[in-house]
Amino acid sequence: MDSAISLPSVVVGVPDQISCRLDDETVLLDLNRGVYFGLNGVGSLIWELIQRPQTVETVYSAVLEQYEVDPETCRRDVLRLLEDLREAGLANVVPA
């Protein structure tokens, strides 16, 4: 089983996908499975950030700076989305 994602972990989007920004949302196509995914505004920001390797802490800080949200809620939601992206095969994570 994969290690848990934490703030020092490094995350990056996988290359085998196509993404398109539509207003405040992003649509992703997993080229290996032909499956589409949709991300809201916050998810779109996170997706843009992880197009290059980033620490989870960098992603968390950017979301916290951009949106008016409680820090603990932000941390939990960022970790959850990154875990969802990893499980969907759309992001690679290197544990701390």
The domains of the chain, with CATH numbers, are 13-89 (1.10.10)
Task: Express each pLDDT in 10-46 by its tens digit.
Answer: 999 999 899 999 888 999 998 888 889 999 999 999 9
Q: Which residue has the tokens 């995914």?
A: 37
Q: Which residue has the tokens 């820090």?
A: 71
Q: H helices then E strands: how many in the chain?
A: 3, 6
Beta strand ranges found along 14-95 (DSSP E): 17-22, 25-30, 35-39, 54-55, 91-94
Task: Express each pLDDT in 55-83 by its tens digit.
Answer: 999 999 999 999 999 999 999 999 999 99
